[in-house]
Amino acid sequence: MTLIYVASSNKGKLADFAAAARKHGVDIRPLPGIEGIDAPEETGVTFEENARLKAEYYSRDVGGEILIADDSGLTVDALSGEPGVRSARYAEDAGIITNHPDAANNQLLLERTEGVPDSRRQCAFVCSIAAARNGKTLKTFNAEARGVLLRAAKGSNGFGYDPLFYFPELNKSFAEISREEKLRVSHRGKAFSLFLDWIDTNRLAH
């Protein structure tokens, strides 16, 4: 098994990654003690810049092993790409402080797109995964899933903006699909699949 560390303590994300990685002979583990490590400032203007920044920063804590970090979010065409890299802090940036950031982010997004007609509600979930070793990025993997922004939340699975993201191919929101489906069609699932292909290729090359 190839050992890969992930700069995350998100149980859902780790479980998704582990399930996909098993078939490739990859052992996915969270970075030990990540909760006690001060997080780096995410100063990148793109998802890829933030993913690289996090991967390089945290990879110094796993001496010589490969570590991956991801950055992802929602971009709405009619809002010139907002919320973008500020997806997780969208409401906070607007001065809305709450213990329920997902709900606040969704509410703010609905308010800001209220006047956008149905024909112009295209959006995309974007994910960038960076693989690093000893503070240096080895490669980045980028993917997106395109959909339509709903006018009200649908579904109770998922997290973040999933209930507002309608995926035409499956005729459901991302909060209405199973974990398996999401891993296959989502931005993060597709970016992680590119990473696993790279791991497979590099193993064969050695």
For helices 11-22 and 187-205, angle between their N-to-C axes, nearest 10 degrees: 40
**Averaged in consecutive runs of 10 residues, what is the pLDDT profile of the chain (206 residues)?**
93 88 95 94 96 98 95 97 96 96 97 98 98 98 98 93 97 94 94 96 71
* Dihedrals phi, psi of 117, to nearest 5 degrees: -65, 160
Q: Spot the catalytic one: 16, 70, 71, 162.
A: 71
Is the pTM higher than 0.75? The answer reads yes
Judge whether 162 counts as a catalytic residue: no
Q: Where are the domains of the chain?
A: 2-205
- What span, in angstroms and rounded, lies between the C-alpha atoms of 104 and 118? 22
Query: What are residue 147's DSSP bridge partners?
Result: 123
List, for residues 46-92, the tens digit of each pLDDT value: 999 999 999 999 999 998 999 999 999 999 999 999 999 999 999 99
Radius of gyration for the alpha carbons in the chain, expressed in angstroms and rounded = 17
2-205 CATH choice from 3.40.50.300, 3.65.10.10, 3.90.950.10, 3.90.1150.10: 3.90.950.10
